[in-house]
Structures are given as C-alpha cells and as structure tokens.
Amino acid sequence: MPAAIGQDLVALLPRLRRFALVLCRSPSLADDLVQGACERALANAGSFTPGTRFDAWAFRILRNHWIDHLRRSRTEGMSEDVTVQTHIVGDAGEEPILNKLLLAEVQQIIDAMPSEQREVLLLVCVEDLAYREAAEVLGVPIGTVMSRLARARKRLVEMTAAA
C-alpha cells in the first residue's frame, strides 16, 4: 500500500510544506515536519480510506505531527523564528521589490492572527479544502471553521486597507 500512496504523497509535498510553514514559521522545521508526516503517512498507509480526499488525510497527519512536536518541545526551549531570516533572494526592478514588500505586509498580518484563524485560512483559501474537509483536518465543527475563516478574512481586509 505505501507504493500506492507514494506518488500522491510526492505530488502533495509543496502543499504540505506550505502548510507546515504556516504552522511553525520556520523553513527548516517545516521540512522536518513534512518529512515526519510523510514517514507517518507511509507507515500508516492502510488507514487511508480510498474514495476520500488524500490531501485532507495528509494535512491531518501533518497537523497532528506538529501538535506532537509542540508537546515535546515545551521542555526543549525555543525554536527558530522566521522573522529573523535575512537571506532573501531579490529580483532586479521596482515591481518585484514592491510585490515582496506587499507580500511581507500580508505575511505579517497573517502571522499576527491567532493560529486557529491562520490554519483555517490556509486550508480553505490556499489549499482549497472544503469547509467539511478543513473541519475534519482540524477536528472542529464546520461552523467553527466558517466562523474562524470569516474572522480571518475580515481581519485581513481591515489590515490591508489600513496599510
């Protein structure tokens, strides 16, 4: 069974990494989380139910792995903060620079959101999961997903209009 989900897992890697970055805000830790989630997915391939969304199943594994990491790290100390990263590859020209500044502003607004809103925003708006699927990944009712998403969108609109 692991070979059957292997190709799907490889195709999902960029999306898993993006979700991991939202969760932990550290590129190196995100890579570790994705690797651990992939190992868990392959080891537990038999628990995947054919006919259901593979990406939602993998996102749930990744999120659970992140929660496990948080529990373990409470005794280990602080982790790397993505805001102190200084190695940004630049493009020539004004437009790419302005786009990067705008993206940085939006990233700061999203980073300032509560983690529950960030997670829902990524799963629904970026990863294109249905509310029900996002609710399953997060282990909350659909109404909670809708409420968190509405608050996240409202905050994003308000903060980008103010900037």
Q: Is the same domain home to 100 and 72?
A: no
Residue at 134 is within a domain: yes
Average pLDDT over residues 9-13: 92
**In angstroms, rounded to a whole number, what is the distance separating the alpha carbons of residues 119 and 145?**
10
pLDDT for 61 beyond 90: yes
Average of per-residue pLDDT values in the chain = 86
- Taking only the tens place, the pLDDT of each residue in 68-120 is 988 888 877 665 565 666 665 555 577 878 888 888 888 888 889 999 999 99
- In sequence order, the 6+-apart residues with CB closer than 8 A to the CB of 132 are 142
Q: Which residue has the higher pLDDT, 73 or 66?
A: 66
Q: What is the pTM of this model?
A: 0.59
Residue type, 50: P
- Domain endpoint, select from 20, 46, 78: 78
Domain holding 42, by residue range, is: 1-78
Residue at 120 is within a domain: yes
Of 2-16, 71-85, 99-113, 127-141, least confident by mean pLDDT is 71-85
CA distances from 62 to 34, 78, 115, 128 (A): 7, 20, 15, 17
How many domains is the chain partitioned into structurally? 2
Residue at 84 is within a domain: no
pLDDT value at residue 139: 95
CATH number, position 3: 1.10.1740.10
pLDDT value at residue 78: 60
Q: Is the same domain home to 62 and 110?
A: no
CATH number, position 150: 1.10.10.10
Q: Is the same domain home to 69 and 25?
A: yes
pLDDT value at residue 63: 94
Q: Is the same domain home to 65 and 28?
A: yes
Q: Give me the DSSP letters along 100-161.
A: HHHHHHHHHHHHHS-HHHHHHHIIIIIS---HHHHHHHHTS-HHHHHHHHHHHHHHHHHHHH
pLDDT value at residue 77: 62
- Domain endpoint, select from 78, 102, 122: 78
pLDDT for 21 beyond 70: yes
Q: Is 8 exposed, middle or buried (0-12, 13-18, 19+ CB in 10 A)?
A: middle
